[in-house]
Every structure is written in C-alpha cells, then in structure tokens.
Amino acid sequence: MHHPHVESPDVAVMVDKLLAEHRTGLLPMKEAIALLRELTGTDRSDADLAGLITKKAAHLGVAVVIDGH
C-alpha cells in the first residue's frame, strides 16, 4: 500500500548513510537528491529533500554543494 504523504523512515536513514559516506568530501545537492530518489523511491519535492539533507549535513558537519549558490 502506498501513502504518498506519509514519511518513509528510510529517507532519513538514507540521508544519514549518504552523508556518512561523503564525510570527507563535498556532496552535490543534485546528486544527493537523485541518489535518495533512486534508493528510497520517495516522491517528496526537491526542496523538501534539500531541506532534510541540509539540516542533517549541518548537524554532521558535511559540506553540501548547492548549485549556483
């Protein structure tokens, strides 16, 4: 059963995993979002995912590259 507006815990877990793997380098935001979609099948908006990634990255001290900013 698919509930588009119910948050999958997998997304948050995958963000943590993704950031842990990129701790030593830079993670382009576009790449991170694309990977999350591929890995979790989430249909959250890019802005929503970017917010989640940014928040977690700041907490972990990972540098996230946001294109053009």
Residue range of the domain that includes 46:
9-65
Residue 38: inside a domain? yes
CATH number at residue 54: 1.10.10
* Residue 25 within any structural domain of the chain: yes
Looking only at the bridges linking them, the beta strands covering 26-28 and 63-65 are parallel
pLDDT value at position 4? 52
Q: Does 1 fall in a domain?
A: no
Helices (H), 1-69: 9-21, 29-40, 46-60
Q: Is residue 3 part of a domain?
A: no
Q: Is residue 19 part of a domain?
A: yes
Q: Report how many domains make up the chain.
A: 1
- Whether 2 maps to a domain, the answer reads no
Per-residue pLDDT tens for 20-66?
Answer: 888 777 788 999 999 999 999 999 999 999 999 999 988 888 888 87
